Chains A and B, each alone.
Chain A
Amino acid sequence: MFGLTKRDSTLLIIVILLTVLAPFILNPFPEGSAMAQFNAGYPDLMQRLVIFGIFAIGFNILFGLTGYLSFGHAAFLGVGSYAAIWMMKLLTMNVVPAIIISVVVAGLFSLLVGWISLRRSGIYFSILTLAFAQMSYSLAYSVLTPITGGETGLQPKVDDPRILDGALAAGQTPRANFFGLEMGTSYELELGNWIFTFNAGYYIAAIVMILAFYLSIRIFRSPFGMMLRAVKSNQQRVNYTGLNAKPYTLAAFVISGMYAGLAGGLLVAMDTQVGAERMFWTASGEVVLMTILGGAGTLIGPVLGAGFIKYMENIVSKINKSVLEQWFAFMPDGIEDFLIAIVYPFIGKGWHLTLGILFMLVVIFLPGGLVEGGQRIGRLFKRKKPSDDAADGKTTPAE
């Protein structure tokens, strides 16, 4: 299908189903129940799940295929965001030009950063990208304040030019839209005690993510993708086989930078404001975690990693002391207090501690990430099946 092998098509269909049905999948608990606060099927979170999925898919094209570990990709996301918001301020609140320009600008910026950083490899490359990102971050707060809005950031204002849009009716605020369809538009479906929200912005971001995922499959399976894996495996052999590794890695860097810009543009399309903090180094680190946690170098890994981290972030950081008290209420007082004291540092604001521990466990026990975990579980189930395979195995040598 669409030039993909059967296996890849299956993967694509799974991703399509997951994203299309996300409003159901992420809202398993009935409204008003004690668990309802752990529902993740609300537009804002669902949008971020797919947008960070795009970010991670792109990052994986660089890191997963070439092995070059960038610690500065949030800079491209940030630059894309700024470009998008300027498009909205100057041209139109339609998200299409904003998203296109975010990809273009992030691509140009990553061309510059990649061209310089790729003179080095290994840890020096990582440090160079980190330095660029931190430089962009501080510039956004200082010298570039006229473009970035400094600490207050940028958002559309009523008196922005928006030369393509007509004048706003009195009292209206500019809203991001897709040819008139506002991003915030939602349709709520009530089924018994459940409420499912279908949000326009989410579905636009989801379609973009599916396209981005499809493109990444094509890249993985192409000669270009194979060259990138060759660079990761043995750069010396690449060079002595008459291939110039530099343009290959640079192209991968720019493509992943464009994915980051696309994610940045979509963030603005969904929530029309930008601040420099999205370029901070922790944001660059987060996409590294997503990719490794999900499974670097695998197709679906980054999508899973991004979804997992954003979902857990949402759930774990929502648990507070009173929730814990509810959970452990059935226990004797002393033990209850003890358990709460132990769990407390890992929840709410302590979410990063939980993430750190999860990450360590994955890297140590599942170096291939969640994808490897899934494969291991799959193998367990296969082994339990009646031993047809084993019987085959025994007869072959006799023939």
Chain B
Amino acid sequence: MGILEVKNVGKRFGGLQALGDVNLSIAENSVHAIIGPNGAGKSTLLNCLVGKLIPDTGSVMFDGQSVLGRKPHEINQMGISRVFQTPEIFGDLTVMENMMIPCFAKRDGAFEMNAIASVASQRDIVERAEHMLEDMNMADKRDMHAAALSRGDKRRLEIGMCLSQEPRLLLLDEPTAGMARADTNNTIDLLKQISDERDITIAIIEHDMHVVFSLAERITVLAQGTPLVEDTPDNIKGHPKVREAYLGETQTAA
């Protein structure tokens, strides 16, 4: 049994079968990549895992418990954090405040009426957020408004915010899109380090094959809403169906 078990999940948008009949098992403490062409249904699948969408059919189990029917914040509190395809951060808040909010969510849960003490007096949270910013190499941007960050920095901030929650399952939707090469490599190193050091399972959607092959232990190829194959990176590289359906396409495009 994997930590995440997706069984027979299907999702329709009007006339479009975005997900056909998806079965996916992600082993605990592994890095699992999901690849596939644009519109294959990768983001839709993640949406079904975090409570943004409710699938029409099938079941999603996380650590033996169903996530279906739970609210997004409940699913997060179960230990699933997600980085979105377009960065979802608090643009009006400073970078430091962005980092403190998930720390509060981790410490205090879904709701805590803490309306009198000042934020600055919460030493544990401040320290933790500062530490996280250093890990993300963003300490110098601490007092900037998050909206003013570059696209790559917004992503790194969002990744840091998710990591600060110490999730058991981290879902990354194209985490390196829009990043400069150096930042991409930093992100790869960071994710590698985290998956080595901590008990964390990572599911990553990525178009950049360099990222996929540097990180993934297993790869699922999704096309038109159904998994085509699932295998190790080495086998996927040589798989004729995959080359045809996906890799070939991107390689000629590149």
Measured CB to CB, the residues of A under 8 A from B are 3, 5, 218-219, 221-227, 229-230, 232-234, 236-245, 247-248, 251, 255
Contacts and interface: CB of A to CB of B under 8 A. Distances in A.
Contacts of B71: 239, 244
A221 B111 CA distance: 17
A298 to B, nearest CB: 13
Interface residues of B, number: 40
A237 B90 contact: yes
Contact of A240 (B72, B93, B97, B116): B72
A296 to B, nearest CB: 12
A243 B119 CA distance: 17
A248 B109 CA distance: 12
B88 interface: yes
Contacts, number: 109
18 contacts: A219-B116, A221-B120, A222-B118, A223-B117, A223-B122, A225-B115, A226-B100, A226-B104, A229-B90, A229-B93, A233-B93, A234-B88, A240-B76, A240-B82, A240-B88, A243-B104, A243-B105, A243-B111
Interface string B74-106: 001100011010001111110001001110111
B193 interface: no
Given A226-B100, A226-B101, A233-B91, A241 B76 contact: yes
Contacts of A238: 73, 101
B161 interface: yes
A236 B161 CA distance: 14
B114 A234 contact: no
Interface of B: 50, 71-73, 76-77, 81-82, 84, 88-93, 97, 100-102, 104-106, 108-122, 125, 161, 165
Most interface-central of A234, A240, A242, A245 (chain B CB within 10 A): A242
B115 A222 contact: yes
A207 B91 CA distance: 37
Contacts of A224: 112-115
A251 B113 contact: yes
A113 to B, nearest CB: 19
- The secondary-structure label for the interface of chain A is helix
A220 B240 CA distance: 59
Contacts of B90: 229-230, 233-234, 237
Given A230-B90, A239-B72, A244 B110 contact: yes
A243 B101 contact: yes
Nearest to A246: B111
A9 to B, nearest CB: 12
Nearest to A224: B115
Contacts of B117: 222-223
A243 B113 contact: no
B143 to A, nearest CB: 14
A227 B122 CA distance: 14
A222 B73 contact: no
Given A222-B117, A229-B92, A232-B92, A244 B76 contact: no
Contacts of B115: 218-219, 222-225, 251, 255
A332 B117 CA distance: 65
B89 A3 contact: no
Contact of B114 (A222, A243, A247): A222
B77 A247 contact: no
Given A239-B73, A240-B72, A243-B101, A222 B119 contact: yes
A221 B119 CA distance: 6
Contacts of B104: 223, 226-227, 243
A242 B105 contact: yes
Given A241-B101, A242-B73, A226 B111 contact: no
Nearest to A242: B76
Given A3-B118, A223-B104, A241-B165, 14 more contacts: A218-B118, A221-B118, A223-B108, A224-B115, A226-B97, A227-B101, A230-B101, A238-B73, A239-B71, A240-B84, A240-B88, A241-B73, A241-B101, A244-B71
